[in-house]
Structure 1
Amino acid sequence: MILIDPPLVEAHGRVWSHLASDTSHEELHAFARRIGVPERGFDGDHYDVPSEWYDEVVAAGATPVSSRELVTRLTRAGLRRPKPRTLLPRPTGRALLRPSRLRAGDLVAVVSPAGPTWPDRLAAGVAVLESWGLRVRVEEGGQTREPWLAGDDAHRAAAFSRAWSDPDVAAVWTARGGFGTQRMLDLVDWDALARVAPKVLVGFSDVTALHQAVAARWGLATVHGPGVAGLGDGDPAAVAEVRSLVMDGTPLTLTGRPARPGAAEGTVTGGNLAVLASGAGTSLVRPAAHGIALLEDVGEAPYRLDRWVTQLLRSGWFDDVRGVALGQLTRCGEPGEAEALLLDRLAPLGVPVVADLPVGHVPGNRALPLGVHARLDGDTGTLSFARTLR
């Protein structure tokens, strides 16, 4: 139902009413277009309408209600949006702002900041999200000379920015990783998007670059988890845990194997080792100081992992880290070779380490929040989160 409250709010030399819908934003936008309310009048969950329009809007079919009833009905319908606030960087080691968990009916925008996606796998993943009661919109890919990219850099940056700035979108979920996220980061207007209400960002692998940028520029927690194209054929238990995390915000414990004794607490940061090293020294990096570093990788020879971790050590990314959580090192040399290398290179840090966590390029890839406080136990081999999304 279309609702309008009395013209009581004074601003810019006029008095204003609020025009809203307790059914959907789509209904609201369609009504506003029909009566000629300009798009710039939309403010997150309502349109601002000048007092001289009030009678005309009611005559067009809007139901008059009190301001209190309008807010109550929007809240009950799950359509009440908090006023956007500017997202700001937070001191290193500080827990980041946690976005709100998703609810049935929320809109998820699927973007491809890196590589192209197989259409059948993407469709299967979209079907999984829709089975959770979510609405899904897939941002179109673009043309490029490089077959490893889902469109040129400007197109991929614009698709991400368009999805993030859309007030109807509750989550931006990446289709997959691959290569190329680093190339689009400097084309995003981070200052402009910082004024948009927080959303859930999900992805992993090459999307590590986006996780780091969002944490560094906006101080916003994100979700390290499978892309949409990995949901359809993913391990059922892992997919169920992704749903539980993003829609229920349930506490989480991941179990690996003890590697270095002791316990540590702090915010988790990190992701793909090669991508983290590639971003070292740039302005869009969130270091692991006073927190827990998460590392995973795939298809890298041990000598390359040595190069990556050395770069992070020399650049100061590990300075004052409190613990290390090693995920899967898939196809990285002989079994156990990569893990032994990293344990040796990280030993001088003198911090607890848990290895073999079910995070990374494996069918059972578990989702976890980045930028959220956790406890790492090097004696029991666990990484635990008492809180995840709000």
Structure 2
Amino acid sequence: MSKSSPYLDSAPLAPGDTVRLIAPSGPTDEESLQRAIAQLESWGLRVVPGENIRARHPRVKYLAGTDAERRADLVDAWCDPDTDAVIALRGGFGAMRLLDGIDFDLMRRHMLRRDGRPKLLTGSSDITALHQAWEHHLGVATLFCPMVGNDPFKNSTVVPDEVASWLFHPWGGRELGFPAEASTEGTAAAEQTAATRPLSRAQTLVPGSARGRLGGGNLSLIAAGMGSPELIDVRERREHRGPSILMLEDVDEELYRLDNLMVQLVRGGWFTSADAVVLGSWEDCAPVHEVEALMIDYLGGLGIPIVSEMGFGHDPDAPSAPLGVDVTLKAEPGERPRLWVDHAGGQA
């Protein structure tokens, strides 16, 4: 099993901590930027925007500044001794373009905050490329979650509180995904949030139980990274890292495209280390039952548990998921599958 993260029994952040807000992928507008800053400040955090967060690439309209500008903001944010967390403003495209120019020895020397715990990286979608790199080069847990510059933070009644709960509370023992039923306990604000939060649609495609390190993210980004330094060892990972539970989700992909991406992962050996596969959301892709059938076609013969509709990814109310920590999956026949973070010391 992987080394336990300190965030299993201590909250990653507290009011007064410093977070660096960066745009490593696509550009944003001023309204979204100011809304993001206001959201983070409402949690009591000190927000330091990246120097190039408003930049635009001179030729490529889908990039927030040049590779050098975006990389500089990422490295400066991570290496700042006052940084407690690095928060991606939004996704889009471009994070993978930054990796080859990063000095990860430098990043490793600056990976601890002043209290000795590792700094936290947050984001999802295109930020999957950074999650993969942080796992491979730095060996730290990260948070796959909706991003403060995107629509869920503006439109969802549950995303801001759900993300905040992962930032300001310990992770150990916490169940992932949407709840099975609305909570009837807690503060009035918590009860109001629970009352409007979507309930679990999770279902078991292949039953079973598993424990392992949670990994994965956006299917397109993982496929694009096959053969890279971060994923070159996928066939040997289980041997030297232990078991893993792999998560997949995507957005705006036709079924034939998902098929092609799965071919790439299967042929590249990405599932060799998998002790279970957890499927998130497939927003604006093919109907869910068609995606599930495709996944069973590729993965059903592996002899491992497979569960669907856990919500991670691009669902408008998407829940968060900590990557690089040990989790337990129980997917018994006829029961709602459950996935939760193990406690420190490996206790389920």
* Closer/same/farther in 2, CA of residues 162 and 114 from structure 1, 3 Å limit: same
Deviation by residue 1:218-240 (Cα, 9 ceiling, x = unmatched):
11110000112136315232321
Equivalent position of 2:191 in the other structure: none
Correspondence 1:210-359 to 2 at 5 A = 210-230=130-150, 232-250=153-171, 251-253=173-175, 254-255=177-178, 256-285=202-231, 287=234, 289=238, 290-359=243-312
2:125 pairs, out of 197, 205, 211, with: 205
1:107 and 2:28 matched: no
The CA deviation string for residues 290-326 of structure 1, in whole angstroms up to 9 with x for no partner, is: 2000000000111111111111111111103100010
| Matched AA of 2:224 | S
Shift of residue 94, structure 1, vs aligned partner = 2.4
CA-CA distance at 1:242 after TM superposition: 1.2
Q: TM-score, normalised by structure 2?
A: 0.81
Moved more, 322-331 or 341-350: 341-350
Please tell me whether residue 94 in structure 1 is matched to residue 20 in structure 2: no
- 2:75 is aligned with 1:150: no
Decide whether the 8 Å contact of 1:98 with 1:221 is kept in 2.
no
Alignment partner of 1:168 out of 82, 89, 92: 82
Q: What is the aligned length? A: 296
Q: Offset of 1:95 from its aligned partner?
A: 4.2
1:129 positional shift: 1.3
Task: Indicate if the aligned counterparts of 1:298 and 1:332 stay in contact, CA closer than 8 A.
Answer: yes
Shift of 1:96: 5.9
Q: Secondary structure at the match of 1:232?
A: helix
Question: Structure 1, unaligned stretches of length 5 or more?
Answer: 1-92
Query: CA distance change for structure 1 residues 224 and 381 in 2, over 3 Å: closer, same or farther?
Result: same
Establish whether residue 159 from structure 1 lines up as the match of residue 73 from structure 2: yes
Give 1:94's aligned amino acid.
Answer: S
Q: Which residue identity does 1:355 align to in structure 2?
A: S
In structure 2, the partner of 1:22 is none
The residue that corresponds to 1:41 in the other structure is: none
Deviation of the 1:263 alpha carbon: 0.8
**Other structure's SS at 2:154 match:** coil
Mapped to 2, the partners of 1:122 and 1:236 lie a distance apart of: 19
Give me the whole-angstrom Cα distance separating, in 1, the residues matched to 2:300 and 2:153. 39
Q: Name the Cα RMSD after superposition.
A: 1.8
1:386 equivalent to 2:342? Answer yes
- Cα distance, 1:187 vs structure 2: 1.1
Ranges in structure 2 where 5+ consecutive residues have no aligned partner: 113-117, 179-201
For residues 150-184 of structure 1, the C-alpha deviation after alignment (integer angstroms, 9 at most, x for no partner) is 01111111110000000111000001110111111
Q: 1:125 aligns with which of 22, 36, 41?
A: 36
Displacement of 1:98: 4.5
Question: Which amino acid is 2:252 matched to?
Answer: G
For residues 165 and 307 of structure 1, the distance between their equivalents in structure 2, rounded to whole angstroms, comes to 38
Q: Which runs of 4+ in 1 moved over 3 A?
A: 95-100, 286-289
Matched, 1:185 2:84: no
Secondary structure of the structure 1 residue equivalent to 2:19: strand
Decide whether aligned partners of structure 1 residues 101 and 192 sit closer, same or farther in structure 2, where only a CA change above 3 A counts.
same
Structure 1 residues 162 and 243: alpha-carbon distance in aligned structure 2, compared to 1, 3 A threshold: same
State the TM-score, normalizing by the size of structure 1.
0.72
Q: For the residues of structure 2 that align with 1:108 and 1:147, how far apart are their CA atoms? A: 27
Structure-2 residue corresponding to 1:365: 318
**Residue 147 and residue 194 in structure 1: after superposition, are their counterparts in 2 closer, same or farther (change >3 A)?**
same
Q: In structure 2, what is the Cα distance between the partners aligned to 1:330 and 1:172?
A: 26
Which protein shows a greater Rg? 1
Q: Which has the higher contact order (CA 8 A, sep 6+)?
A: 2
Which region of structure 1 is more displaced relative to structure 2, 361-370 or 332-341?
332-341
Question: What do the CA deviations read for 1:307-351 (whole angstroms, capped 9, x no partner)?
Answer: 111111111111031000100011112342222211221112111
Q: Deviations over 1:129-156 (max 9, x none)?
A: 1111111111133331100000111111
Distance 1:330 1:304, change over 3 A: same
CA gap 1:269/1:119 in 2 versus in 1, 3 angstroms: same
* Offset, 1:122: 2.5
138-147 vs 184-193, which moves further: 138-147
Cα distance in 1 for residues equivalent to 2:154 and 2:56: 27
Deviation at 1:279, TM superposition (A): 0.3
